[in-house]
């Protein structure tokens, strides 16, 4: 089912069984980028300064600034007061939850589009990619996809392989972000559902027969020409889709 992106409510509320996913355009006016820059930490400003291209620098500032703004609304604090910590594989965490229940989040970007996903007390992961020509596609499938996935991919019509590849790839990326393992988790060590028309799910993981059932997985189309997916620990979620603008 195609997502309907709505304007966010006046009061942000993230319930125990709620998952909220946001999309945001990153190519903003210079004045807005400078406003976001003022909310960033010294470390984030330093990272922004290391980008070679101005467009990449501006987009980094925008996506971090938007993340801080959304989290600030959930936590009822100023965006600049938020502090992040990072796990060994780079997954960001809130260091200060301001006395509220822990908010889990994940973010991803592709060119000028960003996706964010939030939940309470349950791990989440998200990935977005622009669907494009990708000469290394077949090689990556052979190297990083499971045996079952490779067999199914070989039966996909050539005209549909590009879109299929990015659909599967974003699912895998979202799962490894949710676990916090990143690409240190072998992408061929788990199977995702790959049958057209069927619900999206994590079928199994090697060495842990029950692990797949612990996660919920969704495809998402954030914009024309983009594919994405997000993963949440647990099940029976109420998903809301918000469009950030500002």
Q: What is the pLDDT of residues 83-122, one digit of tens each?
A: 998 887 788 889 876 665 689 999 999 999 999 999 998 9
pLDDT at residue 194 in the model: 56
Q: How far apart are CA 73 and CA 135, in angstroms?
A: 42
DSSP 6: B
d(CA 61, CA 68): 11
Boundaries of every domain in the chain: 18-120+236-243, 128-233
Q: 18-120+236-243 maps to which CATH number?
A: 3.90.470.20
Q: Cα angle at 29 between 25 and 31, to 5 degrees?
A: 130
HSE at residue 107, side-chain half, CA atoms within 13 A, is: 20
Mean per-residue pLDDT, 126-153: 91
Q: Which two tokens stand for residue 143?
A: 């190297």
Decide if pLDDT at 196 tops 60.
Answer: no
Same fold yes or no, 18-120+236-243 and 128-233: yes
Global pTM exceeds 0.85: yes
Q: How confident is the model at residue 149 (pLDDT cuts 50, 70, 90)?
A: confident
Question: How far apart, in whole angstroms, are the C-alpha atoms of residue 33 and residue 140?
Answer: 36
DSSP, res 7: P
CA distance 58 to 55: 5
What's the average model confidence in pLDDT over 143-150? 86
Q: Is the CB of residue 174 less than 8 Å from the CB of residue 125?
A: yes
Q: CB 194: neighbour CB atoms within 10 A? A: 21
| Gap between the Cα atoms of 66 and 179, Å rounded | 23
Q: In angstroms, rounded to a whole number, what is the distance separating the alpha carbons of residues 28 and 211?
A: 40
- Residue-level pLDDT at 2: 72
Q: What is the mean pLDDT of residues 188-216?
A: 61
Q: Are 240 and 19 in contact (CB under 8 A)?
A: yes
Cα separation, 153 vs 142, in Å, equals 10
Query: Given this structure, which CATH class describes domain 128-233?
Result: alpha beta
90: which 2 tokens? 């780079």
pLDDT grade, residue 161 (50/70/90)?
very high
- Bridge partners of 23, per DSSP, are 115, 243
Contact (Cβ atoms closer than 8 angstroms) between residue 94 and residue 71: yes
Alpha-carbon gap, residue 175 to 6, rounded angstroms = 25
């Amino acid at each position: 089912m195609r997502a309907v992106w709505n304007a966010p409510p006046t009061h942000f509320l993230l319930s125990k069984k709620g998952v909220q996913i946001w999309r945001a355009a990153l190519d903003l006016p210079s004045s807005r980028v400078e406003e976001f820059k003022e909310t960033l930490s010294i470390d984030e400003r330093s990272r922004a300064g290391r980008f070679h291209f101005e467009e990449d620098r501006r987009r980094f500032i925008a996506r971090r600034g938007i993340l801080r703004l959304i989290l600030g609304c959930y936590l009822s604090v100023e965006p600049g007061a938020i502090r992040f910590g990072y796990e060994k594989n780079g997954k960001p965490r809130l260091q200060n939850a301001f006395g509220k229940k822990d908010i889990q989040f994940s973010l991803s970007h592709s060119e000028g589009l960003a996706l964010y996903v939030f939940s309470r007390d349950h791990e989440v992961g998200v990935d977005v990619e622009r669907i494009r020509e990708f000469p290394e596609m077949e090689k990556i499938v052979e190297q990083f996809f499971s045996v079952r996935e490779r067999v199914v991919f070989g039966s996909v019509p050539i005209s549909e392989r590009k879109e299929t590849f990015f659909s599967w790839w974003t699912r895998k990326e979202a799962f490894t972000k949710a676990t916090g393992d990143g690409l240190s988790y072998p992408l061929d060590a788990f199977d995702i559902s790959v049958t057209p028309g069927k619900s999206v799910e994590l079928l199994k993981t090697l060495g842990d027969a029950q692990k797949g059932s612990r996660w919920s997985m969704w495809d998402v189309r954030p914009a024309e020409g983009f594919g994405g997916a997000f993963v949440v620990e647990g099940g029976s979620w109420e998903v809301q889709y918000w469009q950030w603008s500002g």
